[in-house]
Homo-oligomer: A and B are copies of this chain.
Amino acid sequence: MKRTTSKGDGVPVPASSRRARLIQASPIRKLNPLADAAKKSGIRVYHLNIGQPDIPTPADYWEAMKCRIPEVLAYGPSQGIPELREAICRYYDRLGTAITSDQVMITTGGSEAVIFAMMAVCDEGDEVICFEPFYTNYNGFATMAGITLVPVRSRVEDGFHLPSDDEIESGFTKRTKAVLVCNPNNPTGTVLEAGELERLAKLVERHNLFLLADEVYRDFTFDARRHASVLDLANIPEQVIVMDSISKRFSSCGARLGNIISRNTEVMEGILKFGQARLCPPTMAQYGAAYLYDKLDESYFRKVSDTYQSRRDVLVEELEGVEGVFFLKPEGAFYATIRIPVKDADDFAAWMLTGFNVDGRTTMVAPAAGFYATPGLGLDEVRIAYVLKEEDMRTSLDILKKGLAVYPGRKA
């Protein structure tokens, strides 16, 4: 049966697809109209709700592009320009991971990397295991591609580290094709230990699954942690697919460049064909990115990572021990998912924008329920992105605390 909607004059018009109607609106962006209204009324809003770094895009990015302005801005290769793919191989080589350029495919943002990877391992109705809370946009990609995300819960009490093998395996069915991790994690800031990855490797090997890893935050780990990549799991080289991006690495979210890395030839052939359909990723940004991959070394990433670590420290100083607030110290990326003493964090986040301010200033956070797939979970949690300067972090968290103290929906 074709569902129809009705024009004003009663004449039927065709309905949009189920996926168009059912795909979730971004929980990170859905409070934006309230923030806009607050700003219009003169309130200054501190954005802890979105992972938009304030780190300047390296000037070399722009310089590298200016040198390459062509007469005709033409299509590039579907898999990306060779100099970027080779620069990425050198980046991995410096990290001790051997990758060849035919194992690298450049994508339009990490977003395209995720949807291509999902589509390369799943057909409609197939399932992917995700640890909730997870990056909410995975939901959108799964809806578009007709894939079911099966959530396995991780808990704030465990610092959102992996649950037991039994809990993970409880999510497996005949339709399971992959396990998906985000490491370091958005929205929790958790960094998986090498041992946890080994545990996943054994599970996917035993069940003959793919292991998909979103490693876009890999350069940002705190307290001298070293990032463990799924690319270094020796036993399952053909089962691993990494999704990456330059958005956070080089503070260039608007460039829309990411990449997929896999040693599985069949997977990479399929992904190349997906890529051929959309022709190519943006051409100019690739010149800039290639230059940065070679030019910026560990010392640059250390500096940026230390900046986020200092902000993380401010977060811990400000919120640790606050009554009713609970979280373990985030280990990487620039996020924390925090339990707060409210019944409905959605309502709290909206109230901060509409019913509360301190001297004309307020703080915007992302309600965590949107990062969970299981209804009812995360209702008393928010995600905080620590992407502001230390001073602004301190001010905005102080406002958050003051709001929490007087919020009418506070848990008794």
Contact = CB atoms under 8 A, between A and B. Distances in A.
B126 A13 contact: no
A386 interface: no
A156 interface: no
A5 interface: yes
A140 to B, nearest CB: 3
B276 A17 contact: no
Contact of A29 (B2, B78, B141, B284): B78
Given A19-B123, A277-B23, A13 B282 contact: no
A285 interface: yes
Contact of A210 (B14, B57, B270): B14
A171 interface: no
A7 B270 contact: no
Contacts of A62: 69
Q: Which of A76, A273, A277 has the most CB of B within 10 A?
A: A277
Contacts of A279: 109, 111, 137, 253
Interface stretch (A47-55, A84-92, A335-343, A377-385): A47-55
A296 interface: no
A324 interface: no
Contacts of A311: none
Interface in A164-221: 174, 177-178, 208-210
Contacts of A126: 17
B73 A137 contact: no
Copies of this protein in the assembly total 2
Nearest to A207: B14
A269 to B, nearest CB: 8
A19 B17 CA distance: 20
A25 B278 contact: no
Interface in A1-54: 2, 4-5, 7, 12-21, 23-26, 29, 50, 52-54
A307 to B, nearest CB: 13
A267 interface: yes
Given A238-B7, A270-B23, A274-B144, A73 B13 contact: no
B266 A281 contact: no
Interface string A71-96: 11111101000000000000000000
A151 B121 CA distance: 28
Nearest to A57: B73
Q: Which 9 A/B pairs are nearest by Cβ-Cβ distance?
A: A20-B270, A140-B277, A254-B283, A111-B278, A26-B276, A73-B254, A57-B73, A20-B120, A75-B253
25 contacts: A4-B208, A7-B238, A13-B239, A14-B177, A17-B122, A19-B123, A20-B269, A23-B270, A25-B273, A26-B277, A52-B75, A53-B72, A54-B72, A56-B72, A72-B251, A74-B253, A108-B108, A140-B273, A140-B277, A254-B282, A254-B284, A255-B284, A256-B256, A256-B280, A256-B282
